[in-house]
Every structure is written in structure tokens, then in C-alpha cells.
Amino acid sequence: MDAAGHSLQKELKKFRVLYDLAIAMTAERTLEENLQLVVDKSRELLDTDTAYIALRDEARGDVYMHSLSGIRTEAFKKMRLPFGKGLGGLVAKTTRGIIVEDYLGEKGIAHVVDTTVADEGVNSGIAVPVQIGQINLGVLYAFNRKRTSFSQADLETLHLIGNLAAVEISRKRAEDSVRQSRMELKSERRYRELVEGSRDGYAMTDVHGKIVESNTSFRTMLGYTEEELRKLCYRDITPEKRRSVEAEIVRTQLLERGYTDVVEKEFIRKDGTIFPAETRVYLAKDDKGKDIGSWALIRDITERKRAEQDLRDSEGKFRDLFDNVSDFIYFHDLKGNFIETNLAFKKAYGAERESPASFQIREMMPEEYRPLYEKYIERLLKNGQDEGFMKLLTREGREILIEYKNTLVRDPEGNVLGVRGSARDVTDRIRAEKEKKRLEAQILSAQRIEAIGTLAGGIAHNFNNLLMGIQGNATLARMEVTPNGPVGRKLENIEKLVKSGAKLTGQLLGYARGGRYEVKPVSLNDLAKEVSNTFAQARKDITVQLDLCEPLRGIEADQGQMEQAILNLLVNAADAMPSGGKVIIRTRNVTHETMNGRPYKPNPGEYVLLEVQDFGIGMDRITMERIFQPFFTTKGMGKGTGLGLASVYGIVKGHGGYIDVASREWKGSTFQIYLPGSKKTMAKDREIPDGMIRGSGTILLIDDEEMILEVGKGMLEALGYRVLASGGGREAVQIFGRNRSAIDLVVLDLVMPDMGGRETYQQLRSINPEVRVLLSSGFSLDSLAKEMLEHGCDGFIQKPFFIQELSQEVAKILSARRPSQFSQEDKQQK
């Protein structure tokens, strides 16, 4: 669009210069003044180093330099070119326009003045004949000192100017000839030959305005014979509306100074039609100096008027294009004052009805950017052009960003005229690109968090297996030593460390969506109240304000994990307000439509919103991008694990929810958690008794980790059970097949390389559909474990587990009756 804008500006400039030149040449000037105007405008319009007119000397058979612009050497100014020699002589002879890219190297031109041309330094040029009809009057040139490729459009433009020059030369010569003839020619015959041979009209009137003499051209213009015209007065062939105007011109110009300016008027033809003409009237006197009437030269300017109208129509069309271009097109001076702008610019600025003269670039720029204007002008003066981005303020104070490309404009002498250019409003485009980058960064961050979460989950699983080995051996060892002895206390310390380690891996698994989840219907309002009360006891400097929605939908969640998530958010809020402050917890019922415009696409349905807002130091963009990454902390070495918000993220994701954060530095932060709503009835927790529960029976223990297999066997045997151990699923199926009637319970590892937990369970059920199975894993109660529980597994225990916990789970399963037992008892009762 930039190239189109420049092309449009160039065309507008051409039509304006041609129009101005045509009007200017009607003013009271000498031929030399008007031809100098022609070469100056030619140079300006074609942006060349030189321009000049050579007039034809028929007697000498050559053309000579007459009017010049940009020529340096005197020899060139005095140069004459014979017809057919050099570029000017060739154009004068052939009367056709010629373009020369390398004058001194052009073989088709006979060089008679190589030294003169070389000294002037002209290189590429363009020349057209100056002529009326078939009569050649001279040559109009335009040359550059550097190699230039002129176009056919340039040739046509120079032809137009050449035609204007030809008309002016012809008119001036005719005018001079007539005046000279009346002064010098005493012969009536020679005078009449001159008058009759003129293409311009001639008429003479007496003191009463009656036409007493006319030439053929004037009579042809009007359509009268000589006899008919002699019967008329000058006012008879003048439209009534013009008569008073022309009477005033006669009084103020003709009678006062003896002649009038060249004026435009209208004549009435014999058929009643009206045509425009250009006239100049002179006072006629006799030999004694007495006024005897007046005589006039008249030129029919119908064609010129038609051309001018066509020019105005063309300019109007280009103006329409100029104003309908969506890009901005403008011209301003070096001070920043606009001289011309198109409609698109005015609309964007909010000043559609104002003149461009009221626009000033510095006033449009935001105050902090105004000092950059001088740098912008310096670049233009140095390079001739400049492009880039600039911020502007509209009349309404709205800030817009434009992308511009501007060019310095100079006149033929090299003086700076101003700056022309084009621009477009890229505010929305840049905003959209920034938003796209922001969303892409969020998606990338989410993907990175997902990847890290997967890694964290794998690490936590393996670490839990290690802790299981340590914990099991410590437990078994404690059972063999004095409880309060030095060895017993050390073993107790090991168990405490294992608990701490399990807590850490629990956070990792929570981040990896693999926490210890015991899902049931709960109320976020109840959890918010309980956690805020607990937090308030520990942090007296923080006030927790509850803004809870009633009634609030329930959610299906692990109560402990969700309490941990809320507590972590409160701790994070408190850390952001080291001097104390207020935290607001809000809950709301929402739907997926509320979450539009997020970097994720929520599943359709109802949700519950939990919002935690603080008024602390806030976060910058870089911190926000990393806030949910595990081990990332802003608290400094040794002051935080970097797992608090990471575990919140994992817990929320593990519950099928979404989390957002909004923050501004020193304005605080707001965390929003969206969790799927539930219509299930919320039940109270069932209390599990403390202590070990011993029992009896045979248990098949399956685990691919040798250490876990060993300590698990020891723990179960310590609880009174007979244990059959297997290091893989295939071996376990074989053992179970041989001992199906003797095995009361199977403790099954979920993740094994040989045969996974799901396939092993299916094989066991194919042997005995009533098999009791307790699932065990270093991962949490994930989707696979839930699926297996729904298909008949009896319980789940997460590693590392303690002997008390194991005893309770085993006892609970063994004490429960199977569906087949109910059926058997019913039959016995019947």
C-alpha cells in the first residue's frame, strides 16, 4: 500500500503542477519569464538536475539554448546544435520524443559537442519537440548527471509541458507580430496578410464598440460572414451577464493605461451557443494620438477549458482515491506542521472536519516521546528517508501506534520542501500479536509445567519405593529392640524422617496430579472456614476476610489435599505482605462461560470458584510465568522449597480443575481456582482407629521391588499373617492358581514391568472372581487405581505406608463380607 500511496501522490503532484503552470502562463509576463517557469517546473516535476529549452533557428538550421535551469557551464549555455546532430538536433529534425540513458555512449546520436556535454556532466536525459501542429518551434530537455532510467510516463509528462510552452511561444509571437505590424508596416496589404494568417482572432471596433474590422479566424469562431459581423457591436456578441464586468475592465484598464490584462471572457456564436475565449484589448489611436477605437486579439480556449475540466475531474478522482485509501498519506514541513493529509489520517486523529494546518506532530506525540522528534528529522536529513513506528495521541487522548515510511522532498535547487509519507494504524495488530505471544507463552509454560510434573511424579514414585524400604526395615527393627532404648529411639527418628520425606513426595505427587486422593463430596466453604481459622491462629498479623457464596455447589475432592492447596495459597499471600495485611477468600457458583478468554478451553458445565486475593508486593511478568514450576521460589536460599504453589497447581489439575493468577507489582495478586461442581450429597468422614490390628490368614504379596517385597513380608508376618511373596505378575498368577483356596487376600503393586497391576488383577479374577485385592503404589489414587477399585478391588494403600496403616487396611478388607457370603447366608436363613 505504501508504493500505491507514493504513486498516488506523484500523480496528484503532476496534475497540480501542470494546472498551476497553465494558469500562471496567462498572467502578465514576458515570453522569457514564462519559458523560465516552464523549465523550472519541468525540473521539479521530473526531479532532474537540469531542464532547458532550445529554440529553432530556421535560417541557421540549428537550435540554440534559450531558457535553462540547473546548468553550470557557460559553454553549455551558448551551445547550438545543427538539425540532426546531438539529442536536441535529432528531436528538432524528427519531431519525436527521445529517452537517452547514457548520452555519451549512445550510438544513435551524432556527437558534435562531446566536450561541452562532458564538462557539464549530463548523463541520462529526455527530450521532446516544442511544436504547434506540424510546426516545430524548438526542443524541451530534462537531464540528470547520474545514470537514470526515465519512463514512458516521464516522456508523456514532458510532452504536456512542451505543448504548453509551444502555445505560449505561438501566442507571444502572434501578439508581437500584430503589434509590430501595426507600428511598422505601412502597407495595408502586408498588414492584412499578417492578420488574416493569424490563428488567433483579431477584431477592431470604433469608439462606440461597433465592429469595423475582423480576420477570418475570428469570424470562423463566431460563424458570421464579414458583412454580418460589421453590423454588430462588441456587446452583441457578449453574453448579457458579462457586459457589466467587461465595461468595468474597459474603464479601469483600457482607458487608463491603453491595454488590458489577458482576460477570459465568453462570446455568443451566430447559432446562439457560447464559447470561452482569452482576449487582450489595446487602445487604437490615430496619427495625432486621438482615440479612434480599440483592437483585440482573441483565442478560442474551448479545448483548453475542456482539458482543464478533464484535469480537475482527474484530480477529483485522484482526490477520491487519496481520501479513500485506508492508509494515512500526508505531507509536513520540518517543524512538524502538516500541509496536507488524506481523510483516513483525519479520521484516525479524530479531526475529520479540521484543516491539516491545525495538526502538529509534536502535539500529537505523547509528552515523553516528543524529544525523539528531532532525532527523526536528523535521520531524514541524513538518509533522505526514514521508516519505523511512532506513538500518537488522538484528539480524544487515545494512544495509537503507527507504522510509517517517510521521504524527504527537495526542490530542483536542493532546498528542503518538507516530508511526504504514508503510514498505517497498527495498534490493533500489535496488540493482537502481543496477546498471541502472551497466550503462546502461557501455553508453553503450561506444557513445560506438565512435562516437569510428569518427571516429578516419576521421581516421587521411585522415592516413595525407597522410603518404603527404609520405613519397613526401621519398623521391623524397632519390633526387635527395647522401645525406649538408644537403638529404638534412633529407629524412631528414622521413621520420623521417612514421614517428612513422604510429605515432600506427597507435594511432588500433588504437583504431578498424583497426590494421595480420597475423593468424596465436600464443601469449599467449609474447607475455607477451617483452613482460615487454623491459619489465623498461626499468623496474627494477617486478617482473613471470608466472602462466601451461599448456597455453594459441592465438589468432589480429597479433603486433605484441598485444605493443603488453600493453606499454601494463604501462606503465599502472607509471604507477599511481610508487614501484615488482609487476605480475602471468595467462593462463587460459575459456569464454563465465565472462563472464556483463558489460555485453556474448559469442559462445559458448572464450576465452583475459589479466589484468594492479597494486597502485597505482587509479581512481574517473568515471575508469573514461572510461579507454578516446582522448586521455583523468590524467597532466597534456604527460605522456601518452591513446592507450595507447584503443589497447588498439581492438586487443582488432579481434581480436573483450572487455576489462574492475576498480579501487578505493588498492587497484589489474585489466585482463582475453578473446580467442577458436584450434586452428590456430602458425607461425614469415617474415623479409623489408631494402633496395629493383628490377624490371621494367608496373604499373597506382589511387588517387583525386592526390598519392598522383603519388608512387606516381614510386616505382614509380624501382624500374624502367613505370606506368599512374588516378584512379578506372571509368577503371582501361578502361585495364586496353585493356592486359590488358601489365599485370603492379595496385596498387589500397581506398577510392574513384567505384568502390570491391571492385567495381573484380571488374571487373578479369571481364576477366582471373589479374590480380595488391596492395591499398593508409590503413586496416588490415580485414574487407573480408581478404575480397578470400581471393578472390584477392595482398597488402596500408598507407599510408604506404616505397619499400623497396613494392619488397619488389611483388617478392614478381611472383616468385610463378600456379596456371595450375603447370598449364602440368605439361603441358610430360608
In 3D, which of 218, 201, 198 has the Cα closest to residue 297? Answer: 201
Is the same domain home to 108 and 139? yes
Counting beta carbons within 10 angstroms of the beta carbon of residue 300, is it exposed (0 to 12), middle (13 to 18) or buried (19 or more)? buried
Is the same domain home to 28 and 168? yes
Over range 585-614, report the average pLDDT.
Answer: 88
Is the same domain home to 167 and 190? no
| Range of weakest confidence among 438-447, 471-480, 594-603 | 438-447
Model pLDDT for residues 525-554, shown as the tens digit of each residue: 999 998 888 788 778 889 999 999 999 999
Global confidence as pTM: 0.37
* Cα 564 to the center of its chain, rounded Å: 44
Model pLDDT for residues 608-637, shown as the tens digit of each residue: 999 999 999 888 888 877 787 766 666 554
Residue 627 CB partners (closer than 8 Å, separation 6+): 619, 645, 661
pLDDT given for residue 267 in this prediction = 94
The pLDDT of residue 281 is above 50 = yes
Count of domains observed in the chain? 5
3-state secondary structure 360-385: EHHHHCCHHHCCHHHHHHHHHHHHCE
pLDDT given for residue 827 in this prediction = 42
CATH number for the domain spanning 724: value is 3.40.50.2300
716 vs 483: which has the higher pLDDT: 716
Over range 553-558, report the average pLDDT.
Answer: 89
Confidence band of 69 (pLDDT split at 50, 70, 90): very high
Is the same domain home to 644 and 551? yes
**Is residue 363, in this structure, part of any structural domain at all?**
yes
Confidence band of 475 (pLDDT split at 50, 70, 90): confident
In 3D, which of 571, 576, 657, 557 has the Cα closest to residue 609? Answer: 657
Is the same domain home to 563 and 647? yes
* Cα 318 to the center of its chain, rounded Å: 28
Which residues span the domain enclosing 723?
698-829
Is the same domain home to 739 and 817? yes
Gap between the Cα atoms of 257 and 2, Å rounded: 54
| Cell numbers representing residue 298 in the block | 482573441
**Is residue 66, in this structure, part of any structural domain at all?**
yes
Is the same domain home to 167 and 230? no
Is the same domain home to 289 and 416? no
**Is residue 449, in this structure, part of any structural domain at all?**
no
**Is residue 555, in this structure, part of any structural domain at all?**
yes
Residue 13: CA count within 13 A, CB half-sphere: 18
Is the same domain home to 635 and 710? no
| Domain boundary, last residue among 391, 425, 459 | 425
**Is residue 489, in this structure, part of any structural domain at all?**
no
CATH number for the domain spanning 393: value is 3.30.450.20
| Domain boundary, last residue among 425, 455, 476 | 425
**Is residue 493, in this structure, part of any structural domain at all?**
no
> Is there a contact between 356 and 341 (Cβ–Cβ < 8 Å)?
yes
CATH number for the domain spanning 523: value is 3.30.565.10
Given the C-alpha cell 535529432, which residue does it identify? 90
CATH number for the domain spanning 17: value is 3.30.450.40
**Is residue 509, in this structure, part of any structural domain at all?**
no
**Is residue 454, in this structure, part of any structural domain at all?**
no
pLDDT given for residue 222 in this prediction = 93
| Domain boundary, last residue among 610, 645, 678 | 678
Confidence band of 515 (pLDDT split at 50, 70, 90): very low
- Residue 763 phi/psi, 5-degree rounding, is -65, -40
User: Do strands 328-332 and 668-678 pair parallel, antiparallel, or not at all (unpaired)?
Assistant: unpaired
Is the same domain home to 674 and 532? yes
Is the same domain home to 278 and 338? no
pLDDT given for residue 305 in this prediction = 82
434 vs 301: which has the higher pLDDT: 301
Is the same domain home to 668 and 521? yes
pLDDT given for residue 84 in this prediction = 87
Average pLDDT over all residues of the chain: 82
Gap between the Cα atoms of 644 and 657, Å rounded: 17
